[in-house]
Structure formats: C-alpha cells, structure tokens
Amino acid sequence: MIIRRAFYHWQFIAAGALPLWLLVGSAIFGSGAWAVLGIFFGAVLIGLGLLLVALVIYARKDVRETRALSYADVGVLTLWHALIIAIPFSADAAGWLSVLVIIGGIAVFWFVVWELFDAARRRVLAMVDLVEQQAQGQSAPASAPHPLPNRSRPHETKPAPTFGRSAKPEVIVIEEKRDRP
C-alpha cells in the first residue's frame, strides 16, 4: 500500500520532475546544444503527456478515495518513467529510447483510459444491481457501502415478500384533466 500511495503523489511530481531531468541530464551527460534544444521540445510534450495520464488516473473514484494507485498502474508507470529517466544516460541510444517512450506513453494513456471506463462500468453495474434489489423488495447489503455486482450467484437471491397478497403488485391509474381558463 505504501508504494501505491507513493506513486499516487509521485505521478503529479513526475509531470514536472521528469521533463526537467531530461533537460538537465542531457546537458550533464554530454549532449550537444542542438540535441538539448530538441530534448526541450520533447520534454514539454512528455510533461504534458505525464500530466494527462495523471489526471485520467485521478478521475477514477477509487483512486481518489484511497489515494493509492492500482498495482497495474504502478507497473506501467514504473516502466514508462524508467524509460524517460534512461534517455539522457546514453546519447547513442537516445533515439530508440525516445521511440520507446512515445510508444510507451501512448500505451499507458490507453491503458489508464481503459481502467477508467472499466471502473465506471463496475460502478454502474453495482448501481443497477442495487436498483434491481430495491425493486424486488430486498434490502441493500449492510456490509458494503457500494455493493459490487453479484452475477456469479443467481441462485442465492430471495423472492420479494408478498405478505399474503399476490406476487404482482396492484397498480392504480388516476387520470387528470386540466381545466383551461
């Protein structure tokens, strides 16, 4: 949990620290002036990409509530950040590392978007199940504030109590007419 919480805070710091590292590291490890100028423009784009990914991750409610990322988020962000950190160390490998950083950034972005939609889908299914349980007269489970979908055990559902009446509820329709002045 400590690592997941650390990455929660690190993702926002990384949006500024990693592009700055690209500039400083490339100047320290012997890149030429034109290379540093090219890295500057790349660093700005990488910083925007890091910030965009951090905001998409932050958009998930479970991440905001726990202030911790999932282990999958930690894994993909670790790989992407390691590739970004490795760029200034080798001027010879900077070209193909830059390509890997771009491909990794696109993959990370679509991964976190998929996780956002998956989390939203799970929450909607939980709400639909809760509404169905309420419509059938069952009470919501008291143990979980946000019930998760329980589609794997349909045989455990109880029928709604009828209290001596028929199972179909009676419906009364009242028609209204408005008097027009």
Task: Convert the pLDDT of each residue in 146-173 to its tens digit.
Answer: 545 545 555 555 655 555 566 666 777 7
List Cβ neighbours of 128 (8 Å cut-off, separation of 6 or more): 149
> Per residue in 24-58, pLDDT tens?
888 887 767 777 777 888 889 999 999 999 999 99
What is the four-CA torsion angle of 38, 41, 45, 51, rounded to 10 degrees? 120
How far, rounded to the nearest angstrom, does the alpha carbon of residue 62 sit from its chain's CA centroid?
A: 8
Cα angle at 139 between 134 and 143, to 5 degrees? Answer: 125
Residue 4's nearest CA partner among 78, 113, 82 is 78
